[in-house]
Amino acid sequence: MDQKEVLEMLDSVSKGIITPEEALKKLKTAPFDDLGYAMIDNHRGIRQGVPEVIYGAGKTTEQICGIVSRMLENGANDIIISRLAPESAEVLANHCDLEYHPVPRFGIVNRDTERKKVGSIVVASGGTSDMAVCEEAALTAEVLGNKVTRLYDVGVAGLHRLLSRLDVLTSARVIIAVAGMEGALPSVIGGLVSCPVIAVPTSVGYGANLGGIAALLSMLNSCASGVSVVNIDNGFGAGFLASRINQMEGIK
Amino acid sequence: MDQKEVLEMLDSVSKGIITPEEALKKLKTAPFDDLGYAMIDNHRGIRQGVPEVIYGAGKTTEQICGIVSRMLENGANDIIISRLAPESAEVLANHCDLEYHPVPRFGIVNRDTERKKVGSIVVASGGTSDMAVCEEAALTAEVLGNKVTRLYDVGVAGLHRLLSRLDVLTSARVIIAVAGMEGALPSVIGGLVSCPVIAVPTSVGYGANLGGIAALLSMLNSCASGVSVVNIDNGFGAGFLASRINQMEGIK
Amino acid sequence: MDQKEVLEMLDSVSKGIITPEEALKKLKTAPFDDLGYAMIDNHRGIRQGVPEVIYGAGKTTEQICGIVSRMLENGANDIIISRLAPESAEVLANHCDLEYHPVPRFGIVNRDTERKKVGSIVVASGGTSDMAVCEEAALTAEVLGNKVTRLYDVGVAGLHRLLSRLDVLTSARVIIAVAGMEGALPSVIGGLVSCPVIAVPTSVGYGANLGGIAALLSMLNSCASGVSVVNIDNGFGAGFLASRINQMEGIK
Amino acid sequence: MDQKEVLEMLDSVSKGIITPEEALKKLKTAPFDDLGYAMIDNHRGIRQGVPEVIYGAGKTTEQICGIVSRMLENGANDIIISRLAPESAEVLANHCDLEYHPVPRFGIVNRDTERKKVGSIVVASGGTSDMAVCEEAALTAEVLGNKVTRLYDVGVAGLHRLLSRLDVLTSARVIIAVAGMEGALPSVIGGLVSCPVIAVPTSVGYGANLGGIAALLSMLNSCASGVSVVNIDNGFGAGFLASRINQMEGIK
Amino acid sequence: MDQKEVLEMLDSVSKGIITPEEALKKLKTAPFDDLGYAMIDNHRGIRQGVPEVIYGAGKTTEQICGIVSRMLENGANDIIISRLAPESAEVLANHCDLEYHPVPRFGIVNRDTERKKVGSIVVASGGTSDMAVCEEAALTAEVLGNKVTRLYDVGVAGLHRLLSRLDVLTSARVIIAVAGMEGALPSVIGGLVSCPVIAVPTSVGYGANLGGIAALLSMLNSCASGVSVVNIDNGFGAGFLASRINQMEGIK
Amino acid sequence: MDQKEVLEMLDSVSKGIITPEEALKKLKTAPFDDLGYAMIDNHRGIRQGVPEVIYGAGKTTEQICGIVSRMLENGANDIIISRLAPESAEVLANHCDLEYHPVPRFGIVNRDTERKKVGSIVVASGGTSDMAVCEEAALTAEVLGNKVTRLYDVGVAGLHRLLSRLDVLTSARVIIAVAGMEGALPSVIGGLVSCPVIAVPTSVGYGANLGGIAALLSMLNSCASGVSVVNIDNGFGAGFLASRINQMEGIK
Amino acid sequence: MDQKEVLEMLDSVSKGIITPEEALKKLKTAPFDDLGYAMIDNHRGIRQGVPEVIYGAGKTTEQICGIVSRMLENGANDIIISRLAPESAEVLANHCDLEYHPVPRFGIVNRDTERKKVGSIVVASGGTSDMAVCEEAALTAEVLGNKVTRLYDVGVAGLHRLLSRLDVLTSARVIIAVAGMEGALPSVIGGLVSCPVIAVPTSVGYGANLGGIAALLSMLNSCASGVSVVNIDNGFGAGFLASRINQMEGIK
Amino acid sequence: MDQKEVLEMLDSVSKGIITPEEALKKLKTAPFDDLGYAMIDNHRGIRQGVPEVIYGAGKTTEQICGIVSRMLENGANDIIISRLAPESAEVLANHCDLEYHPVPRFGIVNRDTERKKVGSIVVASGGTSDMAVCEEAALTAEVLGNKVTRLYDVGVAGLHRLLSRLDVLTSARVIIAVAGMEGALPSVIGGLVSCPVIAVPTSVGYGANLGGIAALLSMLNSCASGVSVVNIDNGFGAGFLASRINQMEGIK
């Protein structure tokens, strides 16, 4: 069952020709490769529009290499590996075509460098120290085919920096606002623009920042509308969601 | 300066004819009515695409009536008043055209019943007790001009209820997933669909739910991609953001 | 030992004629009136420049009346009673000259209406619902002899409101920034001015605001310098400290 | 007093021939070996059906070797040592017949490889990174004589993986559901089956997972009935309890 | 499709004649009554061995009566309504055969008083104030057909009370240990018996008990094996799970 | 002013010959040695009956040696250094007569080995892993001149171990009950004896023990009377307080 | 078995004539009256030196009256009922000789007004609002036969009040230091005296006091030695423990 | 635009000749150097009276050197680098004139050693272990031109140390009170003086100090007026704010 067949089947679902249950049942006949330690979901790209992403943090170098190998056999490209340790990256680079970014510890295997980038996502950050999270978000969005503008170190304690870039902000389709410490950036941006704002709290700070909880709570309580929040330091999640929103089709 | 002038000015901004700073300065010449206890931001509709919303929880009946009166003088309609106490609603209904929903304690003044509704937002909930939050989200989205489908009491402990509605879920442009207790609904939905999912934790539950914190943490840690979170019980915020995403134009 | 004698004694201390220990010992001979349930510190005005303040929250009407009576016998005026319940205020008003403010539940006995007000304190707030805390701060500062400017409902989600009052902010000697929800106001103000900023988190909000903890943490992590924080809803403490700073003498 | 005598005595208790107090008193005449740093409870196997288990985390290699030696002298086998560091395992292996599993850091001394395994316990996990906790649970249950089926990497964000194994789940006598992050797996499984479900939260995740607290709270608030919870990462406890339930005799 | 047919179908599943997926699909054709505010899961009794239970806390009297009516039309009996307010109970009693227990606020509609009770569940509590939670657990277990022995006010601070009932404890098939304050009871019981122990923390206490969190944490950290935990005050959940375990068939 | 003079002075205070203020003033004339980084309180022994204790955790080897040197010059002995790192101990041992205990990281300089030990303090612990904290408590009490009985590994999950030592417990003047995990030991002991019980929570455990918070909360909520609590892992504090209570004189 | 017999038996235990186990067994033959809702421990007075205390908070008026009646039948006096609601007190007063203190909601039945009071306990408090907790402590100690000195409203922000009472403090055998807000009183007192200090945090305060948690943490971290802590607002526990310490016999 | 021009412009603002908006707009024409990873705010010195401060904690040696180089090119001196790692300091010292303090990890580049110091700031600490935070505060204040008096190791458990320095305290214009553990120092000092007190909680302590949260909460709840709080371990913030207050001009 190749991708075209899947699309035809889903089309039948949307037209009511077959039920979702029947479709689900078909998809389940061969949906994953079981490696023992992991079940690779080859159809995720089909269901959700993006290939499976490997969260590198809890996995050994061997497991990561194994999963990548199997995915490559299945013809995947633009394979994202987040939280990839430098040592694992070094080993992995011997086995495949890996682009590695050390600051966000972010790897891309078989990157499709020709992929067209569309729309407009802005990644804004409160300070230099938030850069790793920002880059995880920005790279994720770029790999998924989005145009990304970086706007770093524009925290609210130096408001004029942010205001001088108002044009960039107001022309974005989606904004990812990354901040540690008091986490006020998304609220201020949210009050200035009319596009969705994805707030990413970071663990940057010390003492009463409680490992990012202070920024997280601040963002959840934002008095600006149009702001939603992802987990602390979750640059990948923000980039992924921003891509979904940015690439939405217009209402017919 | 009427709305048309404002739009022309913003158009000039987007074309680079005038700078955002100049535009901002113009907007600031008369941006709000100062009632002493509140500054009504008449241009918010202009900046953000929706009129100012009144958060009724911390305000007296007199303050609410005062703000509504001034907004009506300025020609506003579809004025949303969230967390509006029944007693305040009763008084307010004597002064203006109020549509009041007691379960979510939600009021709409001068509702434009002719407004065309577009796109497709689904509001799904884990249980009957989440209904107040769901309705706050659904009504907000409807007032802002969106088509809304309600899918209540489809919690993950009875998975077949949710799966039997898979067609509704997969045809949505945005999904608002509302749940208290363990807050697992957004994760399960997030794994089934390819549109943005806005998770709303509710304070429904007892004991170790900690007033909704359990559901909130659960949602922030969702292993499904494409999910973001708003504050506990924040149906309004979810409905507002869903509207923004649902009404996005397609990428050119 | 009247006030003049005390001042002479303290002068001797500053000149090294008598030691602080000797002075402390003298002060201790009769420093308070013991009412059984309370020890009234009549010399607090001497030590700290302001009369003892009555925290009304945990006291019965009888206790409050008793303390006020004794203080009046000792010739006090400008007696502040914070968190004074309306019922207690009603009773107290029958016994003395009470000025009562119901919103902040704030009473002043024997107010010296002729007192000259000096300097410049600004009380800025994020929203209308923070008004009770703001007024507690503002009234405290006014009773203690300071000029106060109120700047309410200028939260960061509508940044232009705040910026349009930049002149008021930059001409203050001290600013009290009051905010609930995400508590971002002090950070933004702190980045715009060069005077001390006292941040007051309020319990306004719901859900993940955790009764004001969200705003408190946000303020403690402010990336703006020159900001310090008092307890949640502690308008009195902010007003008292602002008065101390505002009334500082210049460096010789 | 050998094991047969103990059983006879307990039988007398159940028949009311002697009181539990008398039995307890007899058991207490020589119940443990005091090593100074530890009291080995040789009769625990009698009271609770399993030999004493060594929690290796807080003990030195010397202490562990000492306890094992004494237990071996007393004729124990199937001695479980949880949280056993690799260095300690290396030393211990020189002194006795040790089977060591490095991923869960789990050791078994004098394993009775002939032991018959009964019933049916399923260990299901949300992701690959939960494997150490899963294996601690599965090995514990196996050592205690239970048949165990592993079902790893079936998290709720890819629901079809879980549903395709519904037959395995519904034929279990007990299910151990292990999950980090949002911890939703036990709720979903709990709604599908009619056997007891033991939920094990893991510390896998980052940021707002708070070291496993998010998953723990989620599981405690499960809206599915028949679910109970053990401590974060407590694979041993889950395996032990699952064994007790799995091996229950039928009601007469 | 009546209950007999369902059982036959499930039997076919267990014999491999039809797949669970096929069975699930069949069950889904008409699985619930949609009342608008609630979806009544009439087949839950089939899937999980017990009829749907109504959590009364978040529902209006009207909603509860509506759900009960529909369930009665479908022939249900032994309908449990937990957290049922006295006012709702009064109204409900006019419409159906309700047995109401005010202390645990627990209602049973159409109770089958002839139902045979099997096995042996002990409900033990630390103190008199835990009685509401205990009764919720005990009544739930009794309605579900289990023999229940109550052992109240046997907290660990008066150990001799507990020890004098050792015979009752050691002859149980499952024990529900309910305690507030320091929550030590399950650990002590867990060390004395060899059956599963379900620990229920209660919110009884004050100050640092944090609404039951102290007892909850204590129980999760129990050093006794064979103990698992449910949510604070969740007597129903404990009774339900105890019933499942008590009624297990023996291993073939 | 030597110790005898001090005692005479204090005697005068107790007889009313001189006031406490006068005595305090005298003591203050030369109460400490200022080393720049520390003020050694040479009179603490006088005020509180024990010499100053050095908390080694936050201090460099140089600072510790400096403080010890100065104290030795002043003729101190039985100098306790808690939380003393092995490396610091090695250096310190070259300069003075140090007795070092590596498990509790506890040092004693110039120990008076002839000191008579009085009364009866029992140190009981839940498990082997609590030994470091136990030893800190026991050694502190011994250095301060108390007879100490150790009763380790008598946790509540094996109640018969504890009960078999009832004679030791009931003959103590003070009991220090040390426990991690669920922290139930002090409650059980508190219900068995009639002497003061000092509860010491330890950080032993994992997951929901939250670094000892679970045990701490458990102990604070003890339903046994006569129990009080010190900080997590604070063996020194418990030993010090136990000594004070143990050495109390009888009521005249 | 009357009290004399019990004492003789315990004497035999201390001489080794009978074992504690035998004694325990004897005590267990009739140790309590089972009222169904409560087990009255008539021998507690024997074991612990004080009669059973009734914690009134979670009990109905009927239950309290029932327990008191049974205790009176057994000849008890000086029966303490803590947290006794005024309505319950009113009813109870009709049935027995009740002394009721409304501020601490504290009742004493059949008070032995002739009881001799010994030793010296000081109850010191930070402020007037802590009075209810102070009185619970003071009355408990008085009923148990101790001399108590009250020292109220001597908080650390007015240090001279405390210092002027240094004589009272230094002549105490035990001090109960009660404080809300920042809870600093026990640390300051602990540094001034050489007797045991029992710290009682109160829930007095607001905002970041977190219902007494701030004071509790402060007291647990006291840098003064000789301080231990009881639960928030637990005046009874402090008074009970203080009595135990105050009434200790001298070391032989 | 040099500094003189800026001052003239600001003067025009204060005289009303130009509006703050116009001034802000001018300042924004070239306000920062964009290094890619950081935006150096060269005008911060103008807006806030002090040059930009480099928070070293989250930055690489290369980034720090880059920022310092650019600032030196712009003629800055007295450049503060807080939380500067020794390794970074070593590299940086090769490139510029660096004064490095290893205990507080504090660097100053191009220190103006001739700068006149004014006023009077006291830095008081509870214990030796707080020294790093104290020195960060003291050095910050000194670099900014203030006279600083250090008063270390004067914690409240040895009150006489603090009282013997009352003269130093009462002659300060601002006091920075630094304390870990129970954090009581600011309350005690706040009650003795009439100048503003800035409280700095430190993370010094263990167990229930929760990394400084205990001290933080204690300080926020201070019952002394005139006290405000900064983040845990935030010596820089305290020193900066103290400088602002100390250097205030007198009221005209």
Could you report the per-residue pLDDT of D107-118, keeping only the tens digit for each?
A: 999 998 888 999
Determine contact: B198 vs chain D, CB below 8 A: no
Position with higher pLDDT, H52 vs A95: A95
Task: Please count the other Cβ atoms lying within 10 Å of the Cβ belonging to residue C100.
Answer: 18
Average pLDDT of every residue of chain H: 85
CATH of F118-246 among 3.40.50.720, 3.40.50.1970, 3.30.565.10, 3.40.50.300: 3.40.50.1970
Residues H161-190: what's their mean pLDDT? Answer: 90
Helix axes B86-93, B61-73, angle to 10 degrees: 40
pLDDT for B7 equals 47
Chains with ≥3 Cβ pairs under 8 A against C? Answer: A, B, F, G, H
pLDDT for D77 equals 86
What H or E segment, with its residue span, contains residue F33? strand F32-34
pLDDT value at H169 more than 60: yes
pLDDT for F19 equals 62
- Taking contacts as CB-CB distances below 8 angstroms, the residues of chain F near D24 are 160
The DSSP string of F179-218 is E-TT--HHHHHHTT-SS-EEEEE---S-GGGGGGHHHHHH
pLDDT value at H235 more than 80: yes
pLDDT for F136 equals 97
Q: What is the pLDDT of residues H116-130, one digit of tens each?
A: 999 999 999 988 889
Position with higher pLDDT, A156 vs D34: A156
Residues H12-32: what's their mean pLDDT? Answer: 57
pLDDT value at C30 more than 70: no
CA distances from residue E144 to A16, E54, E236, F24, H12 in whole angstroms, order as listed = 43, 15, 11, 73, 84
Who contacts C83 (Cβ-Cβ below 8 Å, separation ≥6)? C55, C56, C57, C105
- To the nearest whole angstrom, how far is the Cα of A7 from the nearest Cα of chain E? 23
pLDDT for H3 equals 39
Rounded Cα gap, residues D243 and D245, in angstroms: 5
Q: Tokens 């301060």 sit at which residue? A: F144
Nearest alpha carbon to residue H30 among H42, H22, H38, H20? H42
D with H: touching (≥3 Cβ pairs within 8 Å): no
pLDDT for C20 equals 56
Cβ distance of G216 and E207 shorter than 8 Å: yes
Which of F32, F61, F65, F82 should we substitute to test contact with H (largest number of H Cβ atoms within 10 Å)? Answer: F32
Choose among E58, E211, E232: nearest Cβ to B128: E58
- Secondary structure letter of residue A85 according to DSSP: -
Token pair for residue G20?
């504690």
pLDDT for H160 equals 72
Low-confidence ranges of chain B (pLDDT < 70): 1-16, 18-52, 252
Q: Are strands B98-101 and E197-201 parallel, antiparallel or unpaired?
A: unpaired
Helix (H, G, I), strand (E, B) or coil at E46: helix
pLDDT for C192 equals 85
Which of A159, A166, A209 should we substitute to test contact with C (largest number of C Cβ atoms within 10 Å)? Answer: A159
pLDDT for B26 equals 57
Predicted confidence band of residue D185 (pLDDT cuts 50, 70, 90):
very high
pLDDT for A1 equals 41
pLDDT for F3 equals 39
Burial class from Cβ neighbours inside 10 Å (0-12, 13-18, 19+) for residue H184 reads buried
Burial class from Cβ neighbours inside 10 Å (0-12, 13-18, 19+) for residue F86 reads exposed
For chain B, the residue count is 252
pLDDT for G215 equals 95
Rounded Cα gap, residues B194 and B116, in angstroms: 26
Cβ distance of D209 and B190 shorter than 8 Å: no
Nearest alpha carbon to residue D47 among G245, H70, E193, G180? E193
Nearest alpha carbon to residue C72 among C19, C109, C17? C109
Task: Evaluate whether E121 touches E244 at the Cβ level (below 8 Å).
Answer: no
pLDDT for E25 equals 56
Determine contact: E220 vs chain D, CB below 8 A: yes
pLDDT for C11 equals 54
Determine contact: C219 vs chain A, CB below 8 A: yes
Helix (H, G, I), strand (E, B) or coil at C208: helix
Predicted confidence band of residue D14 (pLDDT cuts 50, 70, 90):
low
Give the residue on E whose Cα is nearest the Cα of F208. Answer: E217
Q: What is the pLDDT of residues B84-94, one digit of tens each?
A: 999 999 999 99
Give the residue on D whose Cα is nearest the Cα of B158. Answer: D191
User: For residues D97-132, b (16+ Cβ closer than 10 Å) or e, as one string?
Assistant: ebebbeebbbbbbbbeeeeeeebbbbbbbbbbbbbb
Token pair for residue H160?
């006489």
pLDDT for D217 equals 96
Q: What is the pLDDT of residues G169-210, one digit of tens each?
A: 988 999 999 999 989 999 999 988 889 999 999 998 999 999
Cβ distance of E128 and G38 shorter than 8 Å: yes
pLDDT for H30 equals 43
Predicted confidence band of residue G29 (pLDDT cuts 50, 70, 90):
very low
- To the nearest whole angstrom, how far is the Cα of G230 from the nearest Cα of chain E? 10
Give the residue on C whose Cα is nearest the Cα of A190. Answer: C157
Cβ distance of H38 and A153 shorter than 8 Å: yes
- To the nearest whole angstrom, how far is the Cα of B164 from the nearest Cα of chain D? 14
Determine contact: C213 vs chain H, CB below 8 A: no
Q: What is the pLDDT of residues H81-109, one digit of tens each?
A: 999 999 999 999 999 999 999 999 999 99
Predicted confidence band of residue F173 (pLDDT cuts 50, 70, 90):
very high
The structural domains of chain H, with segments of one domain joined by +, span: 3-9+25-109, 118-246
pLDDT for G104 equals 95
CA distances from residue E154 to E151, E177, F124, F191 in whole angstroms, order as listed = 7, 10, 23, 12
**D43-47, F238-242, G2-6, H229-233: least confident range:** G2-6
Cβ distance of B218 and D183 shorter than 8 Å: yes
pLDDT value at D79 more than 70: yes
Determine contact: B154 vs chain E, CB below 8 A: yes
pLDDT value at F89 more than 80: yes
Determine contact: G171 vs chain C, CB below 8 A: no
CA distances from residue A11 to A18, A46, B108, B170, D174 in whole angstroms, order as listed = 9, 13, 39, 11, 41
Q: What is the 3-state secondary structure (H, E, C) of chain B?
A: CCHHHHHHHHHHHHHCCCCHHHHHHHHCCCCEEECCCCEEECCHHHHHCCCCCEECCCCCHHHHHHHHHHHHHCCCCCEEEECCCHHHHHHHHCCCCEEEECCCCEEEECCCCCCCCEEEEEEEECCHHHHHHHHHHHHHHHHCCEEEEEECCCCHHHHHHHHCCHHHHHCCCEEEEEECCCCCHHHHHHCCCCCCEEEEECCCCCHHHHHHHHHHHHHHCCCCCCEEECCCCCHHHHHHHHHHHHCCCCCC
- To the nearest whole angstrom, how far is the Cα of C3 from the nearest Cα of chain A? 43
Token pair for residue A93?
């680079």
Position with higher pLDDT, H214 vs F75: H214
For chain C, the residue count is 252
pTM of the model: 0.89
Give the residue on B whose Cα is nearest the Cα of A118. Answer: B251
Cβ distance of F27 and H160 shorter than 8 Å: yes
pLDDT value at H47 more than 80: no
Q: What is the pLDDT of residues D128-172, one digit of tens each?
A: 889 999 999 999 999 999 999 999 988 888 777 787 777 889 889
Helix (H, G, I), strand (E, B) or coil at C203: coil
Percent helix / strand / coil, chain H, rounded to 5: 45, 20, 40
Q: Tokens 């494409």 sit at which residue? A: B226
Helix (H, G, I), strand (E, B) or coil at C36: coil
What is the residue type of G128? T
pLDDT for E1 equals 41
Position with higher pLDDT, A220 vs F157: A220
pLDDT value at F160 more than 60: yes
What H or E segment, with its residue span, contains residue G22? helix G20-27
Q: What is the pLDDT of residues G97-148, one digit of tens each?
A: 999 999 999 999 999 888 899 999 999 998 888 999 999 999 999 999 999 9
- To the nearest whole angstrom, how far is the Cα of H62 from the nearest Cα of chain B? 35
Rounded Cα gap, residues D237 and D218, in angstroms: 19
Burial class from Cβ neighbours inside 10 Å (0-12, 13-18, 19+) for residue B3 reads exposed
**E240-244, F156-160, F230-234: least confident range:** F156-160
Which residues 57-116 of chain B have a CB within 8 Å of chain A? none
Pick left, alpha or beta for residue D78 (phi over 0 → left; psi -120 to 50 → alpha; otherwise beta).
left
* F&G contacts, CB < 8 Å: 125
Determine contact: H28 vs chain B, CB below 8 A: yes
Choose among D153, D163, D208: nearest Cβ to A39: D153
Who contacts E130 (Cβ-Cβ below 8 Å, separation ≥6)? E152, E178, E179, E180, E202, E204
Helix (H, G, I), strand (E, B) or coil at G243: helix
Cβ distance of E217 and F222 shorter than 8 Å: no
- Taking contacts as CB-CB distances below 8 angstroms, the residues of chain E near G238 are none
- Taking contacts as CB-CB distances below 8 angstroms, the residues of chain B near A193 are 48
- Taking contacts as CB-CB distances below 8 angstroms, the residues of chain E near D49 are 194
What H or E segment, with its residue span, contains residue C123? strand C118-125
Q: What is the pLDDT of residues A29-70, one digit of tens each?
A: 445 566 666 666 555 554 455 667 898 888 889 989 999 998
Position with higher pLDDT, E11 vs F193: F193
Task: Evaluate whether E210 touches G234 at the Cβ level (below 8 Å).
Answer: no
- To the nearest whole angstrom, how far is the Cα of G55 from the nearest Cα of chain D? 29
Task: Evaluate whether D180 touches A58 at the Cβ level (below 8 Å).
Answer: no
Q: Tokens 């210092």 sit at which residue? A: G163
Cβ distance of D240 and E246 shorter than 8 Å: no
Dihedral angle at the C-alpha atoms of B127, B129, B132, B137, nearest 10 degrees?
-20
pLDDT for A93 equals 96
Task: Evaluate whether B39 touches B31 at the Cβ level (below 8 Å).
Answer: no
Rounded Cα gap, residues C63 and B208, in angstroms: 40
One pLDDT digit (tens) per residue for chain E, 252 residues: 433 454 455 556 555 676 655 655 555 444 556 666 666 655 555 445 566 789 888 888 998 999 999 889 888 889 999 999 999 999 999 999 999 999 999 999 999 888 899 999 999 998 888 999 999 999 999 999 999 999 998 888 877 778 777 788 988 999 999 999 989 999 999 988 889 999 999 998 899 999 999 999 999 999 788 999 999 999 999 999 999 999 998 876
Beta bridge partners of G200: G178
What is the residue type of G76? A
Give the residue on G whose Cα is nearest the Cα of C52. Answer: G158
Average pLDDT of every residue of chain E: 85
pLDDT > 70: percent of chain A: 79
pLDDT value at C3 more than 80: no
Q: What is the pLDDT of residues A89-142, one digit of tens each?
A: 999 999 999 999 999 999 999 998 888 999 999 999 988 889 999 999 999 999
Rounded Cα gap, residues H218 and H209, in angstroms: 11
Determine contact: C39 vs chain G, CB below 8 A: yes
Q: What is the pLDDT of residues C77-120, one digit of tens each?
A: 899 999 999 999 999 999 999 999 999 999 999 998 888 999 99
Choose among A128, A164, A209: nearest Cβ to H37: A128
Give the residue on B whose Cα is nearest the Cα of H19. Answer: B25
Rounded Cα gap, residues H119 and H114, in angstroms: 16
Rounded Cα gap, residues E148 and E161, in angstroms: 19
- Taking contacts as CB-CB distances below 8 angstroms, the residues of chain H near C236 are 225
pLDDT > 90: percent of chain A: 55
pLDDT for B172 equals 95
Which of C223, C225, C228 should we substitute to test contact with A (largest number of A Cβ atoms within 10 Å)? Answer: C223
Highest-confidence segment of E73-87, F32-46, H154-168: E73-87
Choose among F127, F131, F160: nearest Cβ to D31: F160
Predicted confidence band of residue H192 (pLDDT cuts 50, 70, 90):
confident
What is the Cα Rg of chain D in Å? 20
Cβ distance of C207 and B39 shorter than 8 Å: no
Rounded Cα gap, residues F117 and F107, in angstroms: 19
Helix (H, G, I), strand (E, B) or coil at C2: coil
